[in-house]
Amino acid sequence: MDKEDENIKGLQGEQAYQAALDYLIHLTKFGINLGLDRIQALLQRVGNPEKALRVIHIGGTNGKGSTSIMVAKILEEAGFRVGLFTSPHLNDYRERMMINGEMIPKQELARLVDTLRPHLEHLIQDGVEHPTEFEVSTTLAFLYFAQQKVDFAVIEVGLGGAIDSTNVVQPLISVITNVGMDHMDLLGKTLEEIAAVKAGILKPNSAAITAAERPEALRVIRERAKALNIPLWVVGEKVCWNSHWSSELEQEFDLSGLHGNYPRIRLSLVGAHQIKNAATAVTVCEVLQSKYGIKIPREAIYEGLRKTRWPGRLEVLSLEPTVLIDGAHNVDGAHTLADALQLFKHKRLILCLGMLGDKEREKVAEILLPFADEVIITKPNSPRAGNWEYLGVLAAQKGLPVTTIESPTAAVVEGYQRLSSGDMLCVTGSLYMISEARMALMDIFGE
């Protein structure tokens, strides 16, 4: 038996938690394996906790995490007990499973892993393929939220939709924030194919909301909602907004919603895309009220959006000097970051970039490199990093000074040390890189 397979029973406190965490990390060896058979079998063994939850299920190429946390925060401000499941985490595995902004306690995660392990072993003995780490993580979240009797569970889709392990839920509302070109090796080569996969989270006897704009994707989502005979609200059609102002740290906008107007909403997330995500979150709350009779005071919407924080996503870590960190890991994310960079005044921009080899690196580079005065290329901590140094070749072809530093920690420290008065450091790319880089920067700032 491997060391990672040692039973954690009898261990106490931090030791038990670390053993549970080691066990979960060990499961990453099973990789990405889409499909619902394994998680359905596992959930059945533990009593189908997902059936006890009132779920808001949120998917999309980009913005699903931001929208999820906004919805959760608004509901929390309305007085509800809200479970939030997101992935991946930045610094602490427990960030994936939160109730009202608090991570699952270490001893609780250890207890749940210990509860789950015999069921996993029995599944294997019964000839079921071993569940992946994400399937186990999803099951842990459902168990935790059900046992804690949350009022709502806001569940972010992991990858795609139709055969993502979160798609075992029967939601009150399914949300598709947008549809872009990402994970084409798994989801499809066209927007229509990818949209069809994402629209797989729409279910009978529920409601659907989308903020997708591209006509090809929107047509697929509409057809899916019509086939299921469920209502679909499109953010940007019946829901619209007007931005008042944007700064490096916050922005303000007016929103015309489905059932009311919300003047002068203050949002503590930057970027025009976050206003759209906020409009989507408010639409979720309005549908909860109109379709399900759930009371959500207006002040909860204002306070929830004002208090929302989402680390690692257009996060300003410092203004003197300016340091921005963002997980722009695909083409749409790069466009969003490019728009946001124009909010910041700076003399020189040092771009620290690290991306996975299976992403559209050439397109991302084409979008972001024109903003840079010099570039530091680093390696995401992932087996999918591939030929990570290739980004440096692309930058050199643009005539930019390029430095290649394998360690994300060393790369961001070097970038920070090169800043002169009025300069800006932007750290972006894979979330696998962002996590390590962010911790290094937080150490610099003593936080």
236 and 298 fall within a common domain = yes
134 and 273 fall within a common domain = yes
* Token pair for 382: 């992932």
Q: Average pLDDT by consecutive 10-residue portion of the chain (447 residues)?
A: 46 87 90 89 97 98 95 98 94 96 97 96 92 96 98 96 96 96 83 96 98 96 98 95 90 96 96 94 98 97 96 91 91 91 92 88 94 96 86 94 97 96 95 91 86
- State the pLDDT at residue 447: 65
Domain that holds residue 236: 3-307
- The domain boundary residue, chosen from 275, 307, 339: 307
44 and 145 fall within a common domain = yes
Tokens 């919300």, residue?
Answer: 262
pTM: 0.91
- State the pLDDT at residue 399: 95
287 and 362 fall within a common domain = no
Residue 438 belongs to domain with CATH number:
3.90.190.20
In angstroms, the CA 102 to CA 340 distance is 29
Structural domain count of the chain: 2
In angstroms, the CA 41 to CA 433 distance is 34
- State the pLDDT at residue 33: 83
254 and 349 fall within a common domain = no
Q: Of 386, 388, 377, 363, nearest to 437 (Cα)?
A: 377
40 and 172 fall within a common domain = yes
- State the pLDDT at residue 11: 65
In angstroms, the CA 353 to CA 333 distance is 13
- State the pLDDT at residue 10: 53
107 and 174 fall within a common domain = yes
